[in-house]
Chains A and B, each alone.
Chain A
Amino acid sequence: MGLCLNIYPFGLLPFRILGDNGYWISNSGMKNSPYQNIRLSLINSLLMLVLFLNTSCIAANSDLVSQEEDRINKINRVIMCPVCPGESIDQSQNEIASNMRAIVKDLVRQGKTEDEIKDYFIGKYGPVILLEPSTEGISLYVWVVPPIALSFAMIIVALAVALMRKRQKNSSLNMNHDLADEVISDEEKEKYFAVINRISNE
C-alpha cells in the first residue's frame, strides 16, 4: 500500500502534519527512526482507505437510479407484505408483494406523495401494514420509551459512579490506616532484599 502513496494527492498530507507518537513533528532527530516511517505510512494507508471508501460510496450514489426509482424503493421498504409477516414488500419474493410493488410504482408515477401512498395502503390493510409505527395514539409509546430508558441508564451510571467514588474515598482512608500498622522496618527490608539477591545470583 505504501507504493500507492505517490499517486494519491492526500497521501502526502499527514507527513507534514503528524509526527511520531502523535506529537507535532519536531526536529528532535527522531525523524529518521524506522518506526516513524511505519507510523506515517500507516496513517497514509488509513486515509487512502477512507478515500477509497468515499469514492466507492459516491460512485454508487451518483444518480445511478432515477429519483423516482429511489422514492419507490424507499416506500417499498416501509410497507409490510401482508402474507409474509415481518418482511417488507421490498424484501419479499411473494407474488402479493410484487403486485404491491407495482401499485406503489403506479401511484408514484401518478404523482402521489409518500404519505398519500401510505394512507392508501393503511385504508386497505389497516395500520399494521406500515413497518414503522406512527407517532400517534398508543404507538407513540414505542418512540417515547427509548429516550426515557436512555436517561434512566445515564442516571444509573451517574449514581453508580458516585457511589463507587464515595466507597473508594472511605476505603482508601481506612487502608492508609491499616497500612500504617504494617509498615516494614528498614532492617527487615534489607534482609528481604539480601535473600532475593542471593536467589537471583545462584
Chain B
Amino acid sequence: MVELGQIALILSFMMATYSTVVGFAGGMLNGRDLAASARWGFYSICPLLMLATASLIYAFVTNDFSVKYVAENSNIAMPKIYAWVAFYSGNAGSLLYIAVAFSLMAGITIRILNSKLPYTSPYALGVMSMVLLFFLAVILFLANPLDRHQIALEDGQGMNPLLIHFGMFIHPPFQMLGLISVALPFSIAIGALLAGRGGRDEWVDQGRLWGMVSWLLLTTGLLLGAWWAYTILGWGGYWAWDPVENSALMPWLAMTAFVHSIMVQKRRGMFRMWNMVLIIVAFAMAQMGMFINRGGPVPSVHSFAESTMGWVFLAVMAVTLFISLVIFIFRFDTLKSRSGLDSIISRESAFLAQNMLFLLIAFITLWGTIFPILSEAVDETTMTIGQPFFNKVNGPLMLLLVFLMGIGPVLPWRKAGWGSINRMLRLPLIVSCLVFLLSLISGIREYWVLISFAICSVSLVTVFQELIRGSRSRHSHGESWGRAFFSLIGANRPRYGGYVVHLSIIMLALGITASSFYDVQKDVVMRPGDSEVLGKYTFKYLEVSEKSYPDRVEEIAKFEVWSGNKNIGYMYPYRAFYPEFQIAATKGAIHSTILEDFYLVPSEFKEDGQAVFRVLVNPLVSWMWAAGPVLILGTLIALSPKNRTQRKRLQLPNVNVDQNPLRISE
C-alpha cells in the first residue's frame, strides 16, 4: 500500500514539473492548447496526492510500524480515530498534508480562473505548480513520510500527547491550509504581473476572492489555536506571543491589509503597486512562518514538526522575494494608479494608514521574534522576548487599528467634507466619550482599558449607525424593517459583510482587553472536603479518582461549585500522565457564562492527598469564542456572489435585433 503511495508521489512530482513548464510556456506563447494541457496535468496531481495520503493513513490504521513516519508518530495504544491527527503531527506528514490540500485548492482556483482571466490563468497556474513542485521536492528528497525502516518495529513511539485533543482535528489543518493558501492570491497577482495585465485591474476580483478565502482560513486557524490553548494547555490564557504563534499572525496581518486595500483598487483603480507589494509580503511572511515552525532556530512550544529543513524554507523565501522583485520592477510601468488622491481626509487615506499600521505590527512582531537570533549572532547574548514586550508595543497599535476600523468605513471615497464627517462621527464620538466617563465613574482606573472601551464603542456605534441608516432609508421606501435590513445587506455584500466582521473584531477586542487586565488568578492547596472562595464562586474539592487508559493515567478531581448561592453543578478538571513520554497534560474545567469564565485546573496531586489547583476568573473570554462564528458569517456574506435575480434586475430588458432602438434612431 505504501509503495503505491510512493509511486503516486513520484508521478505527482512529474506532473507538477510538467504543468510548471507547460503552464508558463502556454502563457508566453499564448497557446491555448498548452495552457489546457498544463491545467489538466495540474488537476491530476490532487487525486495522486490523495492516493499517497490514503496510503499513509492506511499505514497508520493498520499499525504498519515498518514505515518510519508511522513508527515515530503513533503506537498501538493510540485510538484509531487519531490516525488523521497523526498524519500531520510530524514534519514529513504535515508537508504531505499541505501539498494535498494546496493541490485541491489550487485546482479549484485554476478552474474558476480559467474562464475569468484567460490571459493570467496560465501564468498563475505556473506559479501555483511551482509552489507545489517545491513541496513535492522537499517531500520526495528530504522528508518522505512513506519511507520504510530497515527493520519493522513492534510498536511505535506514539504521538505527542499534547496533540490528543478534539481541537487538533481542526486547528492544525486550518492553520496550515491558511498559510499555504496565501499562495493562491499571490499566484494570481504574479500571474497578472507576468501577463502584463497587473495594471488593468483584471485580477482584482479573483485576487480579492482568494485573498479572503485565505484570510478566513488563517483567522479560523488562529482562533481555533487560541481556543485549544485555552482549553487544553491549562494555564488559563489563549495567546502567548510564542514564536510560532507570531509566525502565523504575521501573514494574517499582511493578508488583512491586503483584503482591505484590494477594495481601493477595485473601486478606485488606486494602490496597484501597493497591492502587489502587500501580497508579496504576505506570501514571504507565510514562508517565514513555515521556516520558524519547521525547526527554525527560535525555541517554541509548537516544535511538534521540528527538523533541520527550516533553512530550506528560508532560502526559498529569499528566492521568491528576489524573483517577485524582479518581475515587479520589470512590469513597473503597468502598475501606475488610475487616479491620485483627492483629499487627505478620505477613505483612501484611511485605508493607507490602516495598511501601514498592519505592516508595522507585522514588522514589530517579526523583529521581536527574530531578535534573539540576531543578538546571539552579533553579541553572543542569548535572550528571550516574550509576552510583555509584544503586549506593550503591539497592544496600543492594535487599539489604533480598532479606532481606524471605526472611522474608516464611514469616511466617503475621494473627499470627505466636514459636514459628512460631522454627521457620521458625531454620534460615535459622543457615545465613546460617555462610555469613557461612565467607565471612569464605575471605577475603572486602568487607562488602557478606558481607552480600549472608548475606541471599541466608536467602532460599534459606527457599524450600527450605518446599518440603521441604510435600513431606515429602505424602510421609508415602503419595505418592512426586517426586509429592509436584509435587502440592505444583500445589496452591498462586501460592505455589510465587512461590518459584520468588524463587529466580531470588536467582540474580540473587548474580550482580550477585559481578560488581560481583569483576570484573577489564585493557586490553592486543597484536601478532599476543603472549600475555597474566589469572588462570587465557592468551590468544594470532593474527591480525586484515577482512571487508567492504555496510553495514560488520568487523575480526575471532582468539584462542587456555587456561583453566589446558586449551585452550578460539578466540575471535573483532570491531569493526565503519559508514562511513555513522561509528559503530563492538564485539562481545565471551565464554567462559562456570558460575562466571565470560572476556570479550574489541577497543577499537582501530592502523595499525601493534598492537591494544588489553579483557579481563574477570566472576564469576557466567551465573547472571543463567540466572535469566531460571527466573523465567519461576515466573511461569507462579503464573499457571496450576487444572486441571479438581482443580477438580472440590473440588466437592460432584452431587445430583438430588429427592434434595436439604436438602429432605429439611425
Contact = CB atoms under 8 A, between A and B. Distances in A.
A151 B506 CA distance: 27
Interface in B45-82: none
B26 interface: no
Contacts of B661: 195, 198-199
Interface string A91-125: 11100001001000000000000000000000000
A57 B270 contact: no
A92 B235 contact: yes
Nearest to B245: A86
Contacts of A139: 371, 375, 381, 383
A191 B665 CA distance: 8
Given A61-B520, A64-B617, A198-B661, A86 B438 contact: no
B520 A54 contact: no
Interface stretch (B112-120, B308-316, B351-359): B351-359
A14 B435 CA distance: 11
Interface string A59-101: 1110011000100010001101000111110111100001001
A161 B341 CA distance: 7
B393 interface: yes
Interface in B544-592: 584-586
Contacts of A18: 427, 430-431
B275 interface: no
Given A86-B386, A153-B356, A168-B339, A56 B619 contact: yes
A60 B617 contact: yes
Given A93-B234, A138-B379, A60 B520 contact: yes
Given A133-B385, A168-B339, A194-B665, A56 B620 contact: yes
Given A168-B341, A202-B653, A88 B386 contact: yes
Contacts of B481: 34
Contacts of A65: 520-522, 534
Given A133-B389, A146-B364, A191-B665, A54 B444 contact: yes
A110 to B, nearest CB: 18
B322 interface: no
B488 interface: no
B138 to A, nearest CB: 25
Contact of A199 (B384, B461, B517, B655): B655
B442 interface: yes
B339 A55 contact: no
Interface in A128-158: 128-133, 137-139, 141-143, 145-146, 149-150, 153-154, 156-157
B596 to A, nearest CB: 6
A53 B427 contact: no
A171 B439 contact: no
B529 interface: no
A50 B535 contact: no
B516 to A, nearest CB: 11
A160 interface: yes
A142 B370 CA distance: 10
B386 A131 contact: yes
Interface in B358-392: 359-360, 363-364, 367-368, 371, 375, 378-379, 381-389
A131 B662 CA distance: 75
Interface string A147-187: 00110011011001100111111110000000000000000
A69 to B, nearest CB: 6
B384 A149 contact: no
B179 to A, nearest CB: 19
Nearest to A13: B434
A95 to B, nearest CB: 8
B271 to A, nearest CB: 9
A23 B449 CA distance: 28
Contacts of A87: 240, 242, 301
A60 B446 CA distance: 14
B475 A35 contact: yes
Contacts of A127: 381-383
A42 interface: yes
Interface string B615-649: 00101100000000000000000000000000000
A185 B337 CA distance: 31
Contacts of A170: 340
A132 B386 contact: yes
Interface string B399-443: 000000000000000000000000100110011001100110011
A170 B336 CA distance: 14
Given A57-B517, A86-B242, A91-B237, A168 B342 contact: yes
A5 interface: no
A42 B464 contact: yes
B596 A60 contact: yes
Given A53-B514, A86-B386, A47 B620 contact: no
B17 interface: no
A145 B393 CA distance: 11
A52 interface: yes
Contact of A93 (B364, B523, B586): B586
Contacts of B535: 59-60, 64
B520 A171 contact: no
Contacts of A145: 364, 367
Nearest to B612: A98
B601 to A, nearest CB: 9
B468 A47 contact: no
Contact of B457 (A38, A46, A101, A128): A46
Contact of B337 (A57, A90, A164): A164
Contacts of B475: 35
B393 A146 contact: yes
Contact of A51 (B303, B386, B427, B442): B442
B381 A195 contact: no
Nearest to B274: A160
Contacts of A142: 367-368, 371, 385, 389
A126 interface: yes
B368 A43 contact: no
B652 interface: yes
B619 A57 contact: yes
A133 B521 contact: no
A145 B364 CA distance: 8
Contacts of B617: 60, 64
Interface in A1-34: 10, 13-14, 17-18, 21-23, 34
Contact of A60 (B360, B464, B518): B518
**Considering the complex of A and B, which 7 residue pairs feature the smallest CB-CB distances, nearest first?**
A168-B340, A85-B299, A131-B386, A22-B427, A164-B341, A167-B340, A132-B388
Given A23-B426, A53-B620, A128-B383, 11 more contacts: A35-B472, A47-B438, A57-B619, A58-B444, A69-B523, A86-B243, A133-B371, A133-B383, A160-B352, A164-B270, A168-B341
10 contacts: A38-B468, A57-B449, A58-B443, A69-B522, A87-B240, A91-B233, A93-B603, A153-B359, A161-B352, A168-B340
